[in-house]
């Protein structure tokens, strides 16, 4: 993969140090598949897509921590009370009004929506209208927004827990319309040299869908490696 050997060795030293401290080495970007966390729990997570999922889909509360601050929180059992740990900072700041027929959308379309929305909202807290995504689709939406923007929390009207609990009044917010054409154009506008499956790690349902899928006609067949919850499959 072109990773510098010295860099890789230093990373392994960090992992070994964590192990000596008694940390479980699950090495996954989807820890919510392994350990349940309840609504309102305060966490200290650092992986961008996991932070987005925890805040948005689970209704837990965490900032995007760095490695040292997350480790410090693990050692003392506390994390600093600021940012997204405060309810006043979790309210929507911009509305994304999806004006498209989304009934047939899958994970790819929601990932494309997140890719597009992240560039539109930056680090603001978006509130989505016009979509009804399932958990795996929410994961794709949030992961893409964390990549093209810096979104650590989003709301989906009638779907995500904070949006259901607080029923935010977004009438005064800036509203950005998104048409279906904008999402479908993304698939042809972005050149693709390689496809990675399992980033974020796949859910069991995603693995069941992907594993039997045949290679596209005219492509050389290659071993398929899928990743789910810290385990290669």
Q: Distance (Å, rounded) from C-alpha 28 to C-alpha 71?
A: 16
List pLDDT tens digits, range 59-106. Answer: 999 999 998 999 999 999 999 999 999 999 999 999 999 999 999 999
The confidence score (pLDDT) of residue 27 equals: 85
> CA 215 → CA 61, 212, 219, 220, distances in Å?
40, 9, 7, 8
The confidence score (pLDDT) of residue 129 equals: 97
Q: Distance (Å, rounded) from C-alpha 168 to C-alpha 127?
A: 9
Residue 16, helix vs strand vs coil: helix
Spatial contact of 217 and 45, defined as CB atoms under 8 Å apart: no
43 φ, ψ to 5°? Answer: -120, 170
168 φ, ψ to 5°? Answer: -55, 140
On whether the pTM is more than 0.85, the answer is yes
The candidate with the shortest Cα–Cα distance to 151, out of 101, 113, 107, is 113
Place of tokens 């900072």: 89
The confidence score (pLDDT) of residue 26 equals: 87
The confidence score (pLDDT) of residue 232 equals: 45
The candidate with the shortest Cα–Cα distance to 205, out of 28, 25, 24, 30, is 30
Place of tokens 């080495």: 25
Please list the ranges in the chain whose pLDDT falls under 70: 214-233
Spatial contact of 231 and 207, defined as CB atoms under 8 Å apart: no
82 φ, ψ to 5°? Answer: -155, 180
Task: Calculate the CA 168 to chain-centre distance.
Answer: 22
227-228 and 231-232: which strand pairing?
A: antiparallel
Q: Distance (Å, rounded) from C-alpha 113 to C-alpha 177?
A: 12
Strands (E), the chain: 94-99, 126-129, 155-156, 174-179, 227-228, 231-232
């Amino acid at each position: 993969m072109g990773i510098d050997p010295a860099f890789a060795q230093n990373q392994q030293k960090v992992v070994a140090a964590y192990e000596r401290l008694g940390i479980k080495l699950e090495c996954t970007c989807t820890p919510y598949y392994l350990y349940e966390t309840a609504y309102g729990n305060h966490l200290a997570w650092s992986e961008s897509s996991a932070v987005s999922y925890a805040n948005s889909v689970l209704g837990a509360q965490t900032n995007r921590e760095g490695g040292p601050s997350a480790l410090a929180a693990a050692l003392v059992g506390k994390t600093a009370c600021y940012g997204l740990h405060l309810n006043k900072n979790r309210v929507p700041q911009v509305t994304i009004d999806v004006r498209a027929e989304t009934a047939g959308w899958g994970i790819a379309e929601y990932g494309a929506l997140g890719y597009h929305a992240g560039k539109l909202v930056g680090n603001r807290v978006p509130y989505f209208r016009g979509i009804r995504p399932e958990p795996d689709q929410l994961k794709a939406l949030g992961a893409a927004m964390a990549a093209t923007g810096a979104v650590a929390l989003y709301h989906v009207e009638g779907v995500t827990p904070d949006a259901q609990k607080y029923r935010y009044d977004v009438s005064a917010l800036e509203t950005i319309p998104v048409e279906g054409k904008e999402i479908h154009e993304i698939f042809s506008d972005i050149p693709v040299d390689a496809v990675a499956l399992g980033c974020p790690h796949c859910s069991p349902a995603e693995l069941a869908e992907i594993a039997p899928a045949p290679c596209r006609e005219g492509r050389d067949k290659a071993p398929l490696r899928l990743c789910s919850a810290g385990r290669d499959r």
